[in-house]
């Protein structure tokens, strides 16, 4: 009898609110136990109402038409509405041949700080900058003047839908928690108060997680990433890569996408705090601490099974890293590489045959802490990946 009474009280309290509060969605996350579970039809109805409210234009609705038609200008209704401002993430990659790598690093740092940005990471000869999005094109052009450009690329991710969904989810969760606080003030039953407090705790944890994801996403929108790989004019590592007979392995880069082919409709299932770029041709995702997951495809040429390509990765890329460990998860086989830096990063490359293609998953872990936190998640995503 306790839980139905609590749910009934929540609905009674909500009905006393404003018109906007009546359109609020009840807590959507999966409930703990049986506490505060609304019927599916009610939850779907409230969710639809909340989305309509969130996506409605700010402009007032046009006035009702006059039945007489006198003195009315019908062209007003035909005026185009302003387009929605899209939220985009810009990132650039540049491979530069320079005379002195250390000097180039200092110049890159000066470019970043001078534009109002900062150096996000330095991994050996790879420098990652964060610069204000408004100055991305200007700084990226200046970076290219620091050496001889061997390769460059720019990517744009439209994250408008993801941003709107996360903001709506946060707003609804906060409103639901506020309802529960109001119920808590009115309740005098000990068991009922404990049940309400458990639900408040669960919602609070969800709110903090969504806020963290939103903070990451907004930071990525506000500050564009520029990754610069510095190559000395007599590069030993480049000579080693030039001798790799498999172009897709030679092109692999832990910090930047190298596989342009799509992996079809395959989508790895990661934890909720990953920001997923859904509208890209190939799957891309990033966590708050900088773990990046990419999924792409390439031709299986020469035709080989997963074990063959695992050995090829070990043989050709292993010498460039401090450690190379074979790894298996589901149908995938791969190698987990650890860099030679004083603060090493980890780089996972895993492959799976699919018809005449190879499905390749890459995961970059910026440090040991990120590796310990995310490796099991990535392995589980590999094991459960369904390819269509």
How far apart are alpha carbons 340 and 338 in whole angstroms?
7
Q: Could you count the other beta carbons within 10 Å of the beta carbon of residue 218? A: 15
Q: Could you count the other beta carbons within 10 Å of the beta carbon of residue 1? A: 5
Residue-wise pLDDT tens digits, 264-306: 677 888 988 888 876 566 788 999 888 999 998 899 999 999 9
Q: Which residues of 178-210 are buried (b: 16+ CB within 10 A; e: fewer)?
A: ebbebbeeebeeeebeebbebbbebbeebbebb
What tokens appear for 72 in the block? 């009315």
How far apart are alpha carbons 111 and 221 in whole angstroms?
19
Contact criterion met (CB below 8 Å) for 173 and 210: yes
One-letter-per-residue 3-state SS of 236-268: HHHHHHHCCCCHHHHCCCCCCCCCCECCCCCCC
Element (H, E) at 293: strand 292-299
Quote the pTM value: 0.53
Residue whose entry in the numeric block shows the structure tokens 């190879």? 358
- Under the banding of pLDDT at 50, 70 and 90, the label for residue 343 is confident
How far apart are alpha carbons 285 and 295 in whole angstroms?
9
Residue-wise pLDDT tens digits, 254-269: 988 888 677 667 788 8
Angle at 378 between CA 261 and CA 329, to 5 degrees: 90
What tokens appear for 279 in the block? 């509208």
Percent of the chain with pLDDT over 70: 74
What tokens appear for 352 in the block? 């799976």
How far apart are alpha carbons 314 and 336 in whole angstroms?
9
All structural domains of the chain, each given as residue ranges with its CATH number in brackets, are 2-17+38-51+161-215 (no CATH), 236-388 (3.40.1000.10)
Residue-wise pLDDT tens digits, 322-340: 999 999 999 999 999 999 8
How far apart are alpha carbons 123 and 290 in whole angstroms?
13
More confident residue, 196 or 233: 196
Element (H, E) at 213: helix 190-222
**DSSP assignments along 104-124, one per residue:** HHHHHHHHHHHTT-EEEEEET
- Under the banding of pLDDT at 50, 70 and 90, the label for residue 79 is low
- Average pLDDT estimate for 100-107: 91
- Under the banding of pLDDT at 50, 70 and 90, the label for residue 156 is confident
Number of H helices, E strands in the chain: 11, 12
Residue-wise pLDDT tens digits, 11-48: 444 444 433 333 333 444 444 444 444 434 444 444 44
What's residue 84's pLDDT?
66
Residue-wise pLDDT tens digits, 130-155: 999 999 999 999 999 999 899 999 98
How far apart are alpha carbons 268 and 360 in whole angstroms?
12
CA 241 to each of CA 59, 150, 252, 339: distance values in angstroms, whole numbers, following the listed order: 57, 14, 10, 16
CA 232 to each of CA 81, 90, 187, 239: distance values in angstroms, whole numbers, following the listed order: 53, 27, 71, 11
């Amino acid at each position: 009898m306790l839980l139905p009474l609590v749910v009934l009280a929540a609905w009674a309290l909500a009905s006393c609110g404003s018109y906007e509060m009546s359109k609020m969605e009840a807590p959507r996350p999966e409930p703990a136990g049986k506490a505060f579970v609304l019927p599916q039809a009610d939850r779907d109805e409230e969710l639809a109402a909340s989305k309509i409210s969130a996506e409605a234009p700010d402009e007032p609705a046009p006035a009702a038409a006059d039945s007489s038609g006198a003195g009315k200008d019908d062209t007003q209704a035909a005026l185009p509405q302003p387009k929605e401002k899209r939220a985009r993430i810009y990132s650039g990659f540049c491979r530069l041949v320079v005379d002195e790598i250390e000097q180039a690093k200092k110049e890159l740092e000066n470019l970043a700080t001078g534009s109002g940005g900062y150096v996000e990471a330095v991994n050996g000869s790879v420098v990652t900058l964060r610069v204000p999005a408004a100055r991305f094109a200007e700084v990226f052009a200046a970076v290219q003047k620091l050496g001889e450009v061997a390769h460059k690329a720019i990517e744009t991710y439209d994250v408008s839908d993801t941003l709107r969904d996360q903001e709506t989810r946060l707003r609804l969760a906060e409103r639901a928690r506020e309802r529960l606080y109001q119920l808590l003030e009115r309740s005098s039953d000990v068991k009922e108060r404990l049940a309400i407090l458990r639900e408040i705790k669960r919602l609070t944890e969800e709110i903090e997680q969504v806020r963290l994801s939103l903070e990451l996403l907004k930071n990525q929108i506000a500050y564009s990433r520029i990754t610069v790989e510095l190559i000395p004019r007599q590069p030993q590592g480049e000579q080693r890569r030039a001798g790799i007979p498999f172009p897709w392995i030679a092109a692999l880069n832990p910090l930047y996408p190298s596989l342009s082919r799509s992996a079809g409709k395959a989508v790895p299932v990661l934890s909720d705090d990953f920001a997923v770029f859904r509208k890209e041709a190939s799957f891309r995702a990033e966590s708050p601490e900088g773990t990046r997951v990419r999924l792409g495809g390439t031709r299986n040429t020469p035709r080989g099974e997963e074990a063959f390509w695992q050995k090829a990765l070990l043989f050709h890329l292993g010498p460039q890293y401090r450690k190379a460990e074979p790894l298996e998860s589901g149908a995938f086989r791969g190698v987990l590489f650890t860099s030679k830096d004083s603060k090493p990063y980890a780089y996972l490359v895993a492959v799976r045959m699919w018809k005449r293609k190879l499905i390749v998953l890459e995961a970059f872990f910026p440090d040991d802490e990120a590796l310990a936190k995310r490796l099991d998640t990535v392995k589980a995503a590999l094991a459960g990946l369904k390819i269509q």
